[in-house]
Amino acid sequence: MPHLALFAESIAHCSLCGQCDEACPVLELTGSETDGPRGRLFLLRQWLQGQIAGEDISRSMERCLLCGKCGPACPASLPLPEMFLAGRLDLQIPHPLGKDLAFLIIGMPAFLLTFLQYPTAKMMEFLREFPSLKNRLPPLNLSAKRLSPPRPGTKPGVLLFAGCLARRVFPEVGSACIKLLEASGHDVKMPEALSCCAMPHLHNGLATQSLLIIRRNLRILAKTDFGSLISPCPECLETIKKVWPFFPGLQEDERRVAREIAAKARDVHTFLAENLQPVTSNEICFWHRPCHMEAEAAKAAKHLCGADEWPASHMGNCCGAPFGYRTIPSKDLPQRQDYGVLRLGKEIATDAASEILASGARTVLTSCPHCMARLQNTFKGMGFSVSVRHTLQWLAQRYENKE
């Protein structure tokens, strides 16, 4: 159990008080002890002690959202989300379609994107040079950013780790991030070959593939000179800060780089708040706090958007987005391997969406592209027209209007 072994002491130090359970969206829905962090930790402890078989606890591990809400709720500050991630990796939970097929579906596209991205981006840049093609090409506007050395007299360079969704599904979020960083006087760098933070692979227990992706990112980042690493995705940021430096299998020099990068990783809103003034607007939106966003970061985002008085979900309801990493329809799966996560994810998302609808708000601001995708799909499925936007999009638009 290479991943879990890192947390053996913390697992033994838990008193099973249950305060973490109060923050768990899955437990709130099912009421089952093994669906909550306390029960899950106890099962990991039993597994470490050889008192229960790994296959018997996989259901409990798989039904964890890895949303991270239990971590801050622990009075002993035990790294609960990291323990559950480690448990999932060590269990190597078989994907419903089998590990090989899962790798083909989930892992291979990421590999292809990772390895082919650079030449693709270069080719796109080349093609854009032709006036007739310029406007016909897909909006790979993020890939158009190129590395530039820091200009003398400007602030230290910022490295943008856009993450998969802000690059391909919501490129407008990545563009807004760049606009705001530049407006606050920073050089923005975005190495073309950087892509996935490896979280989708981690969610599926694909340890080997995760390690390869983390290593590749570290190699690229080690060659890049930057002052701070910024991401519009709190989940990417958390993975970089909390998973990369401790991931088993890294060489010592890779781990050193991972630690250095983690120390430079900063939330985009707290970073922007140092240079930008909050916007004033009469518009009232609903504020959905992403689970992976730290309290200080959420405070900064709300402050910048002038959202302190906006309606917000109680304690920040999870939207169930992480269960969306399981993209295979449940009807195609044998019941034993489904573990009901797709249904659970849907119910959690419906609860979050219903709370928003009940507030009367028809625009939702959040700071995570995963939450955006999940909430947009949920509202659509429920038949409601609600605009879900990233705080950076909202801010960029207001600063643009102001100018």
Q: Which two tokens stand for residue 351?
A: 């609860």
- In angstroms, the CA 39 to CA 53 distance is 15
Closest CA to 258 of 240, 270, 276: 240
The stretch among 15-23, 267-275, 316-324, 380-388 that binds another protein (CB under 8 A) is 15-23
Beta bridge partners of 265: 229
Q: Is 12 in the site for another protein (CB under 8 A)?
A: yes
Find the shortest distance in angstroms from Cβ 31 to another protein. Answer: 6
Segment near another protein (CB under 8 A); pick from 27-35, 143-151, 173-181, 200-208: 27-35
Among 6, 29, 33, 306, binds another protein (CB under 8 A): 33
What SS3 state is found at 111? helix
Q: How far apart are CA 119 and CA 193, in angstroms?
A: 9
Shortest Cβ 181–another protein spacing (Å): 34
* Smaller CB separation from another protein, 75 or 383: 75
Nearest residue to 164 (alpha-carbon basis) of 141, 198, 127: 198
Residue closer to another protein (CB basis): 59 or 302: 59
Nearer to another protein, 14 or 395 (CB): 14
Count interface residues toward another protein (CB under 8 A).
33
Closest to 67 in 3D by CA, of 258, 263, 348: 348
> Distance of alpha carbon 179 from its chain centroid, rounded?
21
The DSSP result for 214-275, as a single string, is HHHHHHHHHT---SEEEES-HHHHHIIIIIGGG-TT--HHHHHHHHHHHHHEEEHHHHHHTT
Alpha helices in 92-230 (DSSP H): 99-102, 108-128, 131-134, 163-164, 171-183, 199-203, 207-222
Rule CB under 8 A: choose which of 16, 104, 116, 133 binds another protein. Answer: 16
**Residue with Cβ nearer another protein (78 or 386):** 78
Q: Any contact of residue 344 with another protein (CB under 8 A)?
A: no
Examine residue 21 and tell whether it contacts another protein (CB under 8 A): yes
H or E segment at 87? helix 80-91
Question: Of the two residues 40 and 95, which places its CB atom closer to another protein in the complex?
Answer: 40
Residue 224 touching another protein (CB under 8 A): no
Per CB under 8 A, 10 contacts another protein: yes
Residue 34 binding another protein, by CB under 8 A: yes
**Footprint (CB under 8 A) of another protein, residues 41-70:** 42-43, 45-46, 49, 51-53, 56-57, 59-60
Q: Give me the least distance between CB of 21 and another protein, in Å please.
A: 6
Cβ count within 10 A of residue 277: 9
Least distance between another protein and beta carbon 107 (Å): 28
Tell me which DSSP letter residue 34 carries.
G
18 sits near another protein (criterion: CB under 8 A): yes
365-384 residues near another protein, rule: CB under 8 A: none
Using alpha carbons, select from 47, 111, 135, 115 the residue that is nearest to residue 84. Answer: 47
Give the nearest distance from C-beta 78 to another protein in angstroms: 6
Which is closer to another protein, CB of 22 or CB of 355?
22
Identify the helix (H) or strand (E) that includes residue 82: helix 80-91
Residue 248 touches another protein, criterion: CB under 8 A? no
Question: Comparing C-alpha atoms, which of 338, 394, 370, 6 is closest to residue 199?
Answer: 370
- Answer yes or no whether residue 94 interacts with another protein by CB under 8 A: no
Q: C-beta of 297: minimal distance to another protein in Å?
A: 20
Smallest gap from Cβ 19 to another protein, in A, equals 6
Per CB under 8 A, 308 contacts another protein: no
Residues in the site for another protein, rule: CB under 8 A? 10, 12-19, 21-22, 31-34, 39, 42-43, 45-46, 49, 51-53, 56-57, 59-60, 74-78
